[in-house]
Structure 1
Amino acid sequence: MGYLKEYKWFVVLIILLTLMSTLLELLLPTLMANVVDIGIVNGDISYILSTGGVMIGISILAILITITVIFLAAKVGQGFGKMVRRDLFVHVQNFSLESFNKIGTASLITRTTNDIKQIQDVLNMMLQMMTRAPLMLIGGIILAVTREATLSLIFLVALPVLVLSIFLIARKAIPLFTTLQKRTDRLNLVIRESLTGVRVIRAFNRVEDEKERFSEANEAYRDTGIKVNRILAALFPVLMIIMNFTNIAIVWFGAIRIDQGAMQVGNMMAFLQYAMMILMSLVMLSITFIMIPRAQASAKRVNEVLQLKGTIADPEGEEVDTGQRGHVQFNDVTYRHAGAEKPAIQNISFQAKPGETTAIIGSTGAGKSTLIQLILRFYDPESGTILVDGVNTKEMTQKLLRQKIGYVPQKAALFNGTIAENIRYGKADAKDEEVLEALEIAQATDFVNEKKDGIHSILQQSGGNLSGGQKQRLSIARALIRKPEIYIFDDSFSALDYKTDAKLRKALKEKINDATMIYVGQRITTVKDADQILVLDHGDLVGIGTHEQLLTDNRVYQEIVESQQTEEGHHG
């Protein structure tokens, strides 16, 4: 509710206007009673016309006020939704990867769209009904009792029956709202997976299985939806029956009282209208009360994300400048993924210096990518320290740290837009010449030039119209254009053939000689020219040195070389 602070004057205005329109509506039955009891009974035509005119005026005014209230409530509801969505999005952008994995992409999408919309709709409804319904209920009861106290005893039966019916229906429906949101999550997850994994699904002939999986999620969602709506559908018939029986009772007992001369016809008509107003306001309240838990279920899910700490916080205070550029130092670093028994890397210490190339090699699952992600501070180490330019990464803002780094991920992530826009993601104000130069070093010029619009060619979502190697080269060009102090290549040459790989490394060596280069590689050819090679095995650093040193005295490195030797033979 803190988000409504910005709109407090709107809310105050909505309440005041609602108060006015409700009072005007409550006045109408009294005027109508006067038309019948004074005008019609006495045959006073001018009184009928003048009071009728006043009633028309009041009705028009009430309609105009109601339109204004609906407009203002929509403005507040939409504005509120926009603010929550923005904050949620910004908050999620700052998550550590652990927090990200905790909730999952599909659920985060549902929470940012569907859940916030539920809250927004209910807020909109509350602003329109929450003031109006109680006012009408209280005002209606007061006016009905003052008009005809004896007839009002009918309410003593009608209201408890109505309240009880609403309570029983709400008690059944409310728990199902939470279930419905979970089913939405599941449906989103299945759709997302089957769309992003469409190639794998077809390759393994799993289209039927996916249809089955989708049908399950879809039907579960449908069944819960039907269940909720069935319960809510019972509400209106029940309310209509109670209201109609109340009407019958009023006319019945009213007729007896008119017959006894204890009451006028106009009074009974006014009383009938007040009774309808009272019951209708109860219905409005009940709908709001049933919708609130739905919004509550959604609000809880949104809050869960907002309260989840990013676990990676920027430090307070001044940035320290040590005058170093491109130094990376690990001191006894250990990191364990959430819920893992064994650390992903343990007691790692090494230094990477400017102008030098550090390569990291090891079998799958040795902890190579984890080590890289720790430098980028996607995670914080469990113990030990990581220094970049002599400063602990925890004491540096994430923005400053990442400005120093050009990162090429293992899986090239490209965005919808032109090739140039994708490259400029590394440096927003880069000129076309810089883009072309980066593409040249990344060995991407040939295939970009083959495209009709060159660097202004449009890429499909996640680069669907490129091969794996082309995506990798664009991803490399994006890191190069930054001209950072530290380059990190996380197995970024895996999709390139040997020839392109060699050309690319040669170009990198020639053009970039003052920065720190950190490679993660699988191939010996990629790493053997490095100034120092780190050999990782099951999270331990088992060797550090040049290719020649490691060949003579490192068993793990020798095994990797031997396993690739046969392959090398084929490439001559």
Structure 2
Amino acid sequence: MLKTLMGEVKEYKRDSILSPIFVIMEVIMEIIIPILMASIIDNGVEKSNISHVWTMGALMVAIAMISMFCGVMSGKYAARASSGFAKNLRKAMYENIQTFSFANIDKYSTPGLVTRLTTDVTNVQNAYQMIIRMCARSPFMLIFAMTMTFVVNRKLAMIFLVATIFLAIVLALIIAHTFPVFSMVFKKYDALNASVQENVSAIRVVKAYVREDYEVNKFHTASNNLYKLFVQAEKLLTLNMPVMQFTVYSCILLLSWLGAKMIVAGSLQTGELVSLFAYVMNVLVSLMMMSMAFVMIAMSKASADRIAEVINEKASLVNGENPVYEVPDGSILFDHVNFAYQKDSENKVLNEINCEIKAGETIGIIGGTGSAKTSFVQLIPRLYDVTGGCVKVGGIDVREYDIETLRDQVAMVLQNNVLFSGTINDNMRWGKKDATQEEIIRACRLSQADEFVQTLPDKYETYIEQGGTNVSGGQKQRLCIARALIKKPKILILDDSTSAVDTRTDSLIRQAFATEIPDTTKLIIAQRITSVQDADRIIVMNDGMIDAIGTHEELLTDNMIYRDVYESQVKGAAENE
């Protein structure tokens, strides 16, 4: 974990080194000041040597100014280093997430990834700043101050040593008990974010079903669980300050009592006692700062683990050693294909799939809910890898292709159509970055989207809200189909992508496909028989297997599943009429 995170410091190594260097210089200056102060008292005030007072006073001011400058520079470099480190962590996670396959994405919840990119990175950023400042300052301050106390008076220095050991033990116990609690806190953050995200993204459904109170209570429960854990952790952390203050005041009392006796006995000078009072504050404050730093590090340890987990996650789908960069044609072959979402799972989603599709064919796919229609087509662009057998496109195993090349030639319109915030033109150019306006209009005409786009005030410059909330479901589907067509793919997969359009528009889309892109292999998953009955062949899926393949007429005669679906839809349509 540490190696992974430190690898993201990168260009901020210089700032990360300069910050502790200036901190050490600041500490040295602060350690010198009590010695000068003792000299002023013992050699200046008590001996009425005013020139010595002025000389040492001027030197103290100069050293204080140097200390202040070092402190400012240390803060400046620490801020740059920690902010840059956080930026690199977010970038590394986000870039790696983009390489994830669907199988990788399935491992993480969306709220969990958001928490890692925001809250977790902020915690690590704060901890990193503490490390390069506080964790550099406190140990050196402790070492230098303890050394000076032994130089001044060894007997009194034992007070500091005992106090240091006592505080170190208390601090270790506090950290040991708080770390498990903070580990649980970030899991609760995921639950809280999930509640918020789900509610906001589905706010229309929430309001339609008048479930606002239910959602408020769900959020309150998640928030209250987080509150309880923080209270539990903070109760333990609050012990730190009382113990610290008890130790500080005990040291001051012992120094005052023993120091006064030693001054009377003549074995200690007044200035030396004053310097010891300064050093006791330096030692104990440095311990307090170390405790704060360790608490912050303990809090961020869970965050650091979660960040490293995402950065170290390896995509389950990668290119082979010598990937193929050209797809010959749109032919597809399923050869004894088995598939399960979990590789070690015995529950296969697809079982012994054998099917050959010629380039340019139009294939309809129909079947009941849960018959694995979507899983079947997701193997073609290699969104998942088969667990047995192989899928070939253009006569080549999809695992041998460069992934980007393959997916550029296999356009897929998913069940859940997504439009991004931006103009219609911007959304269309997701399919092809340099698409001309003529290409965009042609694709929209093929998908029957141009008709409604031309009625919009700004036409193709009309702004689409995030998720396409300002267009209807049917309009969204047609725009998504157009976006896929702009790629000019060799294979086009429509996964129930015309369910929200009327039968006339559905028919026009299929006619346009047949006449305008005859060489493109088209796979159409549909619930309506009318959407697939004109296909060259129709695949009937049932319980993860191919039940039958044939034309509309052949299946009506020979396949019970297809005939039952057809009759139920024809009967339903007749009753509606």
What TM-score range do you get, normalising by the shorter chain? over 0.9
Q: State the Cα deviation string for residues 392-432 of structure 1 (Å, max 9, x = none).
A: 11111210110102211111111111111111111111122
Q: Distance in 2 between matches of 1:9 and 1:105?
A: 35
Counterpart in 1 of 2:372? 367
Task: Provide the aligned length of Structure 1 versus Structure 2.
Answer: 571
Asked if 1:490 corresponds to 2:490, the answer is no
2:3 is matched with which residue? none
373-382 or 436-445, which deviates more? 436-445
Q: Is the 8 A contact 1:37 1:265 kept in 2?
A: yes
Q: 1:202 to 1:318 in 2, by over 3 A?
A: closer
State the 1:536 CA deviation: 0.8
Quote the offset at 1:571 in angstroms: 7.6
Tell me which amino acid in the other structure corresponds to 1:82: K
| 2:37 corresponds to 1:32 | yes
Q: In the alignment, does 2:80 pair up with 1:75?
A: yes
Q: Residues 156-555 of structure 1 correspond to what in structure 2 (within 5 A)?
A: 156-319=161-324, 321=326, 324-338=328-342, 341-555=346-560
What is the DSSP-based 3-state SS (H/G/I as helix, E as strand, rest coil) of the residue aligned with 2:146? Answer: helix
**After superposition, what is the alpha-carbon deviation per residue over 1:69-120, rounded to whole angstroms, capped at 9, x for unaligned?**
1111222212222222112112222222232222211111111221122111
* Matched-pair contact (CA < 8 Å) for 2:443–2:483: yes
User: Which one is further off, 443-452 or 387-396?
Assistant: 443-452
The answer on 1:562 being equivalent to 2:567 is yes
SS of the counterpart of 2:348? coil
Long gaps (5+) in structure 2:
1-5
CA drift of 1:5 comes to 5.0
CA separation in 1, counterparts of 2:452 and 2:243?
70
The CA deviation at 1:492 is: 0.5
Partner of residue 23, structure 1: 28
Does 2:12 align with 1:11? no
2:323, 2:400 within 8 Å by CA — same for their partners in 1? no
- How far off is 1:10 after superposition? 3.1
Q: CA deviation at 1:19?
A: 2.1
Following superposition, the deviation at residue 342 of structure 1 comes to 3.1
Matches of 1:471 and 1:441, distance apart in 2: 14
Q: What amino acid sits opposite 1:381 in the alignment?
A: V
* TM-score scaled by length of structure 2: 0.95
Structure 1 residue identity aligned to 2:499: S
Could you give the per-residue CA deviations for residues 332-367 of structure 1, whole angstroms, max 9, x where no partner exists? Answer: 111122386532221112222222211111111111
**Once the 2 structures are TM-superposed, how far is the Cα of residue 570 of structure 1 from its aligned partner?**
5.7
Question: 2: CA distance between counterparts of 1:169 and 1:366?
Answer: 55
Identity percentage of aligned residues:
35
Q: Match of 2:16, SS? A: helix
Regions of 4+ moved over 4 Å: none
- What is the CA–CA distance in structure 2 between the aligned matches of 1:287 and 1:136, rounded to whole Å? 15
Describe the SS at the equivalent of 1:223.
Answer: helix
Shift of 1:135: 1.0
SS in structure 2 opposite 1:316? coil
For residue 155 of structure 2, the aligned residue among 142, 150, 154 is 150
2:490 and 2:162 mapped to 1: Cα distance? 80
Moved more, 388-397 or 152-161: 152-161
- State the distance in 2 between where 1:229 and 1:453 align: 56
The DSSP-based 3-state class of the residue aligned with 2:216 is: helix
Q: Distance in 2 between matches of 1:427 and 1:372?
A: 22
User: Structure 1 stretches of 5 or more lacking a match?
Assistant: none
Deviation at 1:552, TM superposition (A): 1.8
Contact 1:320 1:391 survives alignment (8 Å): no
Secondary structure at the aligned position of 1:337 is classed as coil
How far the C-alpha of 1:513 sits from its partner, in A, is 1.3
**Matching residue of 1:85:** 90
Give the conservation status (yes or no) of the 8 Å contact 2:323–2:402.
Answer: no
Task: For 1:57 and 1:559, locate their aligned partners in 2 and report how far apart those are by CA, in whole Å.
Answer: 95
AA of the residue aligned to 2:110: T
Q: By how many angstroms is 1:381 displaced?
A: 0.7
